Amino acid sequence: MRRKKVSPAKKDGRLRLDTSEHFATAWLCCAITYQITDLKDLESEHLTDFLESRQISGRTWNNYRRDFHVTFAWAVEQKYLLTNPAATVPEAQEDPINAQVLSPDEFSKLLKSAEETLRPVLALQAFSGLRRSEVEQIEWPEIKFDTARIVPTKTKSGQWRYIVMRPNLKSWLEQVPKFQRIGRVCTAPYREALDRARLSAEFLQWPHNCLRHSFSSYSLVAEENEPRLQMELGHSSPRLLIEHYRAIVTPAHAEEWWKISPSV
């Protein structure tokens, strides 16, 4: 028998069942991926990351988004949260090419504005496509300078993958002295350090996952190797790459992107 959907019950504080199921799935995945133990630490970016990691249609994305909003609005009403983290989760676009990227000049400006400890972290995101959750947890032993490979062990999908280390990324990572290459690459609170760099660079807007989107978009144009890029991003299907991680960039900009190095 098909379950009958009902509106959220406001009088007794309960939520409809399908809404609760969507919330429980997202909360469990976000809690494991980001090691969140307190609901108050959940951010809009975590929810958006969760949606982008799933191979779902735009309609399904928006259904999740709606249920997140209802669930967290209820949590705010119950005084479990002060604000609704789902309020700024973007709505899915029908245009399959909807990714937003940074230009080479914008990213160069951001790197120059960033603190020294944040630069290798930003370089890993922009030139290897690591997610925020991955770059916050990756450790130096996972970066193989001898084979020019990056092998993250703490991935969103939990599946093994490797990423080719492009020459300009290697240059950025080699700026860190060898004796400091122990433990995690990200040694400062990521969000706070990024916000300081954005403020210094006068970036008022920060499109979600723009560094990962930039990596994939500039890679597609410069290297024309979609199967390898799909593997590097950790996608099981090329559909996700096309729908969420490809933007229209010019060959000239792609060439500039892969020339961004500490000497520029």
3-state secondary structure the chain: CCCCCCCCECCCCECCHHHHHHHHHHHHHHHHHHCCCCHHHCCHHHHHHHHHCCCCCHHHHHHHHHHHHHHHHHHHHCCCCCCCHHHHCCCCCCCCCCCCCCCHHHHHHHHHHCCCCCHHHHHHHHHHCCCHHHHCCCEHHHEECCCCEECCCCCCCCCCCCEECCHHHHHHHCCCCHHHCCCECCCCCHHHHHHHHHHHHCCCCCCCCHHHHHHHHHHHHHHCCHHHHHHHHCCCCHHHHHHHCCCCCCHHHHHHHCCCCCCC
Euclidean distance between CA atoms 251 and 213, whole angstroms: 16
Q: What pLDDT does 3 receive?
A: 37
User: CATH top-level class for 104-257?
Assistant: mainly alpha
Neighbours of 158 (CB within 10 A): 10
Domain definitions of the chain by residue range: 17-88, 104-257
Reference 34, options 220, 218, 191, 221; nearest CA is 191
In this structure, the strands spanning 149-150 and 163-164 are antiparallel
Q: What pLDDT does 66 receive?
A: 84
| pLDDT per residue as tens, the chain (264 positions) | 333 333 333 344 444 544 556 566 666 767 777 777 787 888 888 888 888 877 676 767 887 888 888 888 888 888 888 899 888 888 876 554 456 889 999 999 999 999 999 999 999 999 999 989 899 999 999 999 999 999 998 887 777 789 999 999 999 999 999 999 999 999 999 989 999 999 999 887 788 788 999 999 999 899 888 889 888 988 777 776 666 666 678 999 999 999 999 975
Q: What pLDDT does 1 receive?
A: 33
Q: What pLDDT does 20 receive?
A: 59
What pTM does this model have? 0.66
Q: What pLDDT does 100 receive?
A: 81
CA dihedral 193, 181, 45, 84 (to 10 degrees): -60
Residue 244, CA distances (Å) to 51, 57, 153, 207 in order: 11, 11, 23, 13
